[in-house]
Amino acid sequence: MKRRELKKKKKKWYKIPLIVLAAIVLLVGGWTWYTWNNAKQTVNKKMHQQVDSIDLELSKKKVKEREQLNILILGIDSKSGERGRSDTLMVMTLRPETDSMQLISIPRDTRTLIVGKGFEDKINHAYAFGGEDMAIATVENFLGIDIDYHVRMNMTGLQELIDELGGITVTSDLEWSDGTYQFNKGPVDLDGNKALAYVRMRKKDPAGDFGRAKRQRDVVEAIVKKGANVASIGKINSTIDILGGNMELSLDFDDMKRLLTGYTDTRKNVESYQVQGTGQKIDGIYYYIVPEEEVQKVHSMIVEDN
């Protein structure tokens, strides 16, 4: 599959990608041989997935040399037996030389060329059409960047993970009720079900998808903070099993260990951004239209130090 169809600018070279960091903390955080071996077996046999659209040898070289990494996070909301769509798309850029991380959210309704199909559609449809490979190639083409690794997680797994950790706490900017749960401004305690309701709401949010994306980032960050203590609460093995059944990633266990030792300090400086555009109906279908100037701006944000 063609890696890119947009002309790229010359490369110049948020916390370790949040969901990747959660996996690293939870999978590599155990200290007994049994836990370490269990984590290794889970990552390499259950979670590791090689994709054609990523040059893994080049990615591994970058990790060894502590170069910038771009990791695509796909949050999938699907029922059993269905592929589903990538309702969450984030590009996380790790810059170890400046101890910084950048997390860029791409609205799911963004209209762009679907690589491999040859027509324009909502960017989250790429995963539904062709899985991780098509989603990766489409995001690369949209922003004119290279994706070095990808992580895919089912939202059901996110729910199970939060329950296993004993819940999380986030700070809500809004007050609303969905008929089942009441959310007030300020600190909010979330179990798995309430967390899913928290990240899925958008109609009652004046910021729409922008607010929804922020809540998604807040929830994942809260998981990272709570997950850092997973070894001490004696739940690491059951947590590994949850991740193994709900997450796939192109990193293998050795890659994750190198990220743990070489990229952890990227947590020190976190920047967050969402691709800007406007809503528009085309042939009766709602799309999020991103102007070329914004695409180039985001491209430069990602490759600015290359």
* Range ranked top by mean pLDDT from 3-7, 29-33, 171-175, 203-207: 171-175
pTM: 0.78
Residue 289 has pLDDT above 50, yes or no: yes
pLDDT at 216: 81
The C-alpha atoms of residue 163 and residue 63 are separated, in whole angstroms, by: 32
Q: Within the chain, what is the greatest distance between any pair of CA atoms?
A: 58
Q: Percent of the chain having pLDDT more than 90?
A: 44
What are the tokens at 234? Answer: 């004696």
Q: Fill in the amino acid letter for 235.
A: K
Contact partners, residue 222, CB within 8 Å, separation at least 6? 168, 169, 170, 190
- CATH class, domain 18-296, is alpha beta
Range scoring the smallest mean pLDDT among 16-30, 81-95, 188-202 = 16-30
Q: 39 near 239, Cβ under 8 Å?
A: no
The C-alpha atoms of residue 133 and residue 69 are separated, in whole angstroms, by: 18
The C-alpha atoms of residue 162 and residue 167 are separated, in whole angstroms, by: 5
pLDDT in tens, 217-270: 788 778 766 765 554 445 666 777 777 778 888 988 888 878 877 887 887 787
DSSP state letters, the chain: --S--SPPPPP----S-HHHHHHHHHHH---SHHHHHHHHHIIIIIIB---TTS-HHHHHHHHHTT--EEEEEEEEE--TT---EEEEEEEEEEEGGGTEEEEEE--TTBEEEETTTTEEEETTHHHHHHHHHHHHHHHHHHHT----EEEEEEHHHHHHHHHHTT-EEEEES--EE-SS-EE-SEEEEE-HHHHHHHHH--TT-TTTHHHHHHHHHHHHHHHHHHHTTTTTTT-HHHHHHHHHHHEEES--HHHHHHHHHHSGGGGGEEEEEE---EEEEETTEEEEE--HHHHHHHHHHHHTT-
